[in-house]
Amino acid sequence: MLELDAEALYAELRQGVKNLWRDNAALVGVWSGGAWLAERLQQDLALPGGAQGHGVISSTLHRDDFGSRGLSSGTDPTRLPFEIEGRHILLIDDVLYTGRTLRAVINELFDFGRPASVTLAVLVDRGGRELPVAAAFAAARIVLPATQRLSLARADDGRFQFSLTPHTEPA
């Protein structure tokens, strides 16, 4: 049984994001796990913009399987409380798998402007890429069969934990 300590990996991610941070940067979390991570990183690292300084981005409208998935009622709309044009975007996600969600997120991001750069940091890279997407920083790299899904959860006290469940459709 795979045991991953999400809080320990978060501490590594926090240090990785601190090292990747640069002037004129903004933190953007991928809905939902990445958004939780970005919210906590914004606070823990005391990044510019205060508690509301991070952005949240959804992949829903640009997914290549939108026709079969449709709109999810649980998906928060994209919220980017800053200009994207010319900004260094530090994109945060919980689990990197096929790369399809990231492709959709980048398309959504460019709907708001052309960033100077986009850098990806993830809590876990589980391999299995279908697209040429790589994280500049991953707190952990693991290999899981396609039949398993690794999900991040956030407790009421804000602490993170992972769950591993059976999965039959691509991410």
Q: What CATH number should be reported for the domain holding residue 83? A: 3.40.50.2020
Residue 73: per-residue pLDDT:
55
Q: How high is the pLDDT of residue 44? A: 96
Give the pLDDT confidence score for residue 3 in this predicted structure. 80
φ and ψ at residue 68, rounded to 5 degrees: -90, -25
Total number of domains constituting the chain: 1
pLDDT for res 62:
81
What range does the domain containing 68 cover?
Answer: 6-166
Q: What is the pLDDT along the chain (171 residues), one digit of tens a residue?
A: 568 999 999 999 999 999 999 999 999 999 989 999 999 999 999 998 876 789 999 988 886 664 554 555 555 589 999 999 999 999 999 999 999 999 999 999 999 999 999 999 999 999 999 999 999 999 999 999 999 999 999 999 999 999 999 987 655
Does the residue 1 lie in any domain? no
What is the pTM for the complete model shown?
0.90
* Residue 171 is assigned to a structural domain of this protein: no
CB neighbours of residue 57 within 10 Å: 28
| Residue 112: Cβ-neighbour burial (10 angstroms; 0-12, 13-18, 19+) | middle
Per-residue pLDDT at 48: 86
Structure confidence at residue 1 (pLDDT): 53
